[in-house]
Amino acid sequence: MSCSDYHIFKKMGLTRAQALDKYLGIVKECLSHGLRPRCHFEDITRADFYGFVIPFASELKKLSDESGIPIKIRACDTMGYGIPYPGVALPRSVSGIIYGLQHYAGFTSDMLEWHGHNDFYKGVVNASTAWMYGCGAVNCSLLGIGERTGNVPVEAMVMEYASLKGHFNGMDPTVITEIADYIVNETGYELPPMTPFVGSHFNLTRAGIHADGLLKDEEIYNIFDTDKILNRPASVSVTNTSGLAGIACWINRHYKLKGDASIDKKHPVIAKIKDWVDAEYAAGRITLISDDELEGLIEKYKDELAADGFKF
């Protein structure tokens, strides 16, 4: 049910009155069959809010009250124009849209949904704002996959919910990692490595000073206990900037060495591996040192490591 003049005049070739009559006719037909309509107010962030949206929503509320059948409104930010900041004018104000639908059209929170797009990088914050101002639900997609720049990622809103409420309310966030792995493996989707929570570089560090911090206390450079919450232990990659700490951190995390069983960056083998890494980059290398290469080096020095009690 497109709301903006762009859609009403240019896409459908109707007047506002004709569009309103058409939409209400469809809703009445649904209600006559006992169906519970969910009305998708498309392009609401470019619509005349008080000139069309509220009058339309008010008519829907009357039909709902008369029929006794609940009607939902899905406020759709089709082009991602919504803005979360206080004081923004309608129709771009996310808070203003939700407030208006509640207080001027009489829709309760459980009858309101927010459907956002990410064209201006505001998908998640707009969805959160809609929640905070009384919208009962937000529409999401797995990994944020959707039209143009995507929709609101469901995994982002799981974390947002926990941040706002202080708990997951029974949700198992480790499934987020399983879902991402499934989509990538089964569909061939190329997941950008820097994608929050699910990308391969999400909790990976390259700088040696960061790796040194991880060795001392993971909370220094890991945003939360990613192993516990997402089943994704913090990881490091080895490059020319990793240093002794980065190499030691990689070994401990790759081979799951913890506490007294972990290897210290001062161990002689760490220095030997670092010398090899430095030589690679001095010769012009620009790529990361692969896990296979590092495993080969561990195999090379396994006797020396075994002498100090390390078993791989």
Determine what percent of the chain is predicted with pLDDT higher than 70: 97
Q: How far apart are CA 96 and CA 90, in angstroms?
A: 6
pLDDT per residue as tens digits for the range 107-126: 999 999 999 999 999 999 99
Q: What is the pLDDT of residue 61?
A: 98
Query: Is the predicted pLDDT of residue 30 greater than 80, yes or no?
Result: yes
When pLDDT is averaged across residues 22-51 and rounded to a whole number, the result is 98
pTM of the model: 0.85
Amino acid at 176: I
Q: What is the mean pLDDT of the chain?
A: 94
The boundaries of every CATH 3.20.20.70 domain in the chain are 5-139
Query: Is the predicted pLDDT of residue 208 greater than 70, yes or no?
Result: no
**Omega before 55 cis (within 30°)?**
no
More confident position, 240 or 38: 38
Quote the tokens at residue 309: 């009690």
pLDDT per residue as tens digits for the range 228-245: 999 988 888 898 888 898
When pLDDT is averaged across residues 294-310 and rounded to a whole number, the result is 92
Query: Is the predicted pLDDT of residue 278 greater than 90, yes or no?
Result: yes
| CATH code for residues 5-139 | 3.20.20.70
Cβ-in-10-Å burial (0-12, 13-18, 19+) of 231 comes to middle
Query: Is the predicted pLDDT of residue 63 greater than 70, yes or no?
Result: yes
